[in-house]
Amino acid sequence: MSSKPFRFGVQSFHAESAAEWREGARKAEEQGYSTLHLADHIIGPGPALEATHHPLQSLAAMPAMAVAAEATTTLRIGCRVFCIDYRPAAVLAKEVATLDFFSEGRLEVGLGAGWLQGEYEAIGIRFDPIGTRIDRLTETVRFLKAHMAKGQLDISGDHVTARGYEGAPQPVQQPHPPIMIGGGSKRVLSLAAREADVVSLNFNNRSGVLGPDGVKSGTADATAQKVGWIREAAGSRFDALELEIGAYFTFVGPGTGKIAEGMGGSMGLSGDEMRAHPHGLFGEVSEICEELERRRELYGISYVTVGVAARDAFAPVVAQLSGK
């Protein structure tokens, strides 16, 4: 389906020290990863985080991205994805344009409608119905594009309003940095198909927590359906889109089939379903390379992001497939 060259990202949430964070960014660059991603989560350890089943993210995305850019020369910086409810749209636009300026054009702007209900509640933000959050995401995406274009802003929407000024600074990447929109529902993926440069395939986290329901929404069959939604909504844009996915369950080496069996069992999936799960990679380097090529042909996915825990073990895959 896809002839786009492979790109690989690594996603990290934590560092014990500033030196460790900088060194981790440099190592990702040396290993050939395209992009260092963070997520956009706020709350620290405690019962609120435990109830979400989400891992701790100790670092704020914006400053961590800036430090990573300063520590490297070619590595792109991104967020999978900024929650549009955590900042006013004008603040988000100003900050990402500034990040593109300081990184000299190495920014990827990831955007999402927000989903982690317990985090919203813990920090006192209203968790609106999903339809309202997607409406706000739609207006935010269009506002960011307008903010990074030349000319006075005159926008008055249901969720985003700005008028009487021009966005500054102008981003290095024109007309704007690549926009990634991530999600798992038909409506979000259709929006991404129409408006984004990169479509990030994710779980449908409608439950508001991490768990088996989300994992089951990302199976092979579910992913094929999502790609169908994207193709339908994108129309003539489809071939220009880059499809990205988080390989959250990546285990490289011998004996990883047993890991897939155990993980599948805990999620209500068979071992075969887990090994074919597009958000998982299990096997030796050669097996994973073959599987990624198969998935690119089947789904069109050419951009794969792994967690930092798998960074070193996965690096030989990056070396073999990057740009091919």
- The three-state secondary structure class of 271 is helix
Q: What's the one-letter identity of residue 174?
A: Q
User: What CATH architecture is 7-83+175-321?
Assistant: Alpha-Beta Barrel (3.20)
Q: What is the pLDDT of residue 214?
A: 74
Q: CB–CB of 73/106 below 8 Å?
A: no
How many alpha carbons lie under 13 Å from residue 72 in its C-beta half-sphere?
Answer: 30
| Alpha carbon distance, N-terminus to C-terminus of the chain | 15
Backbone angles phi, psi at 52, to 5 degrees: -85, -20
Q: Model pTM?
A: 0.95
Asked if the model's pLDDT at residue 240 lies above 90, the reply is yes
Q: Residue 142, Cβ neighbours under 10 Å: how many?
A: 15
Quick one: 263 exposed, middle or buried, by C-beta within 10 A (0-12, 13-18, 19+)?
buried
Asked if the model's pLDDT at residue 204 lies above 80, the reply is no
239/210: higher pLDDT: 239
β-sheet bridge partners, residue 251: 282
- If you average pLDDT over residues 82-102, what whole number do you get? 97
Enumerate residues 6+ apart whose C-beta is below 8 A from 264.
270, 271, 273, 274, 275
Q: CB–CB of 106/178 below 8 Å?
A: no
| Per-residue pLDDT reduced to its tens digit, 140-189 | 999 999 999 999 999 999 999 999 999 999 999 999 999 999 999 999 99
Closest CA to 180 of 194, 204, 201, 199: 199
Considering the chain, what is the average pLDDT of its residues? 94
- If you average pLDDT over residues 180-204, what whole number do you get? 94
- The three-state secondary structure class of 125 is coil
Question: How many percent of the chain have pLDDT more than 90?
Answer: 86
